[in-house]
């Protein structure tokens, strides 16, 4: 299913939750909608699901108009599946009944699929590894198992698109990592498109084909995880998706000279730096892009904090005008209060 949003806005009273959003989702894509709380990502998902209609603009799915001012095609007519943060399981139904429910009641389910609903339920439960728990009640399941049931129920009627609203945020860290793999595998097996709303940059970077970064109702940047991380187009993207140190200085063409006094450190060259950083006279540097040494040249500073992380150490280095985050190897550790020099790798 392809989806096109043309200048879509949504207001609630005087508050503008979405501001002229223009997006295209291609069939079978895994898209992550990433942003902080209140940025409009859940509002966008509700419009795609058919729970709300836009204040202005239009939404098309596979060429069909499904949303405009005052009109929203109902969710049950959109051939979509929904996975919620809260699992939303019916407490009185067994696992197999939860999965069977959309096969019985969704209007877009084919007659063939409805006629073979038992086989489809068994197939889907096998996909999510819950075939042996088909007769369990929700109260007898762990959090991870409940989320697998929610996924199974969503994919049972073979939707063209799955909409996921922060489905892993209520799980612990270990389960979240496991469920990431489960969702990626389901995406591969079902070939359905996925639009995945999250505020967790790690989830978005690990799972998505493309990421839509949002801020205050607007789209800040769209791109592959690698594009978003390595080539942020705005200051917000550089600091929200991975921590970036913003070094003030002066741009002259493709060359940047840091404002802070340095010991023999020359200009930094970056021909592809985004316009937003040039206009604000900033240079974004990821913590792993700094090389830290005990001798110059480089930006001179002192270590004021360190955190051991197993395979690496996170340092905070005070250079006088600001504190910078630097990731270093455990092979050559530095000490608290040690003087160091930073330069670009």
- Give the total residue count for the chain: 345
What tokens were used for 10?
A: 């949504």
Reported confidence tier of residue 263, pLDDT bands at 50, 70, 90: low
CATH 2.40.50.140 in the chain, residues? 243-344
pLDDT tens-digit readout, 197-239: 999 999 999 999 999 999 999 999 999 999 999 999 999 999 9
Q: How far apart are CA 251 and CA 280, in angstroms?
A: 9
Of the chain, the end-to-end C-alpha distance in Å amounts to 43
pLDDT tens-digit readout, 293-310: 998 889 999 999 999 999
CATH 3.40.50.300 in the chain, residues? 3-227
Q: What is the CATH number of domain 3-227?
A: 3.40.50.300
What tokens were used for 329?
A: 């190897």
Right CATH number for 243-344 from 2.160.10.10, 3.30.9.10, 2.40.50.140, 3.30.930.10?
2.40.50.140
What tokens were used for 272?
A: 């592809």
According to DSSP, the residues that pair with 132 across neighbouring strands are none
pTM here is 0.89
């Amino acid at each position: 299913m392809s989806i096109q949003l043309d200048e879509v806005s949504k207001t609630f009273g005087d508050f503008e939750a979405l501001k002229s959003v223009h997006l295209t989702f291609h069939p079978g894509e895994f898209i992550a909608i990433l942003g902080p709380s209140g940025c409009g990502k859940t509002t966008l998902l509700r419009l795609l699901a058919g729970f709300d209609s836009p204040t202005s603009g239009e939404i098309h799915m596979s060429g069909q108009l499904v949303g405009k001012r005052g009109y929203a095609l109902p969710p049950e007519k959109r051939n979509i599946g929904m996975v919620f943060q809260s699992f939303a399981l019916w407490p009185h139904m067994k696992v197999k009944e939860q999965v069977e429910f959309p096969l019985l009641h969704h209007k877009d389910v084919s007659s063939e699929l409805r006629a073979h609903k038992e086989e489809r339920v068994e197939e889907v439960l096998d996909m999510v590894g819950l075939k042996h728990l088909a007769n369990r009640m929700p109260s007898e399941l762990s959090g991870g198992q409940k989320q697998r049931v929610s996924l199974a129920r969503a994919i049972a009627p073979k939707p063209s698109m799955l909409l996921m609203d922060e489905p892993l945020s209520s799980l612990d860290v270990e389960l979240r990592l496991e469920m990431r793999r489960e969702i990626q595998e389901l995406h591969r097996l079902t070939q359905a498109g996925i639009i995945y709303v999250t505020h967790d940059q790690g989830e978005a970077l690990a799972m998505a084909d493309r990421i839509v970064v949002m801020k205050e109702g607007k789209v800040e940047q769209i791109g592959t995880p690698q594009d978003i991380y390595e080539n942020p187009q705005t200051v917000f993207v550089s600091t929200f998706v991975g921590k970036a140190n913003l070094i003030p200085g002066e741009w002259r063409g493709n060359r940047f000279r840091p404002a802070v006094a340095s010991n023999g450190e020359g200009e930094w060259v970056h021909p592809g730096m985004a316009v937003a950083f040039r206009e604000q006279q900033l240079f974004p540097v990821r913590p792993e892009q700094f090389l830290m040494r005990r001798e110059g040249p480089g930006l001179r500073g002192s270590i004021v904090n360190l955190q051991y992380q197993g395979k690496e150490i996170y340092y905070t280095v005070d250079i006088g005008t600001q504190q910078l985050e630097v990731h270093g190897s455990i092979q050559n550790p530095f000490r608290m209060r040690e003087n160091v020099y930073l330069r670009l790798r």
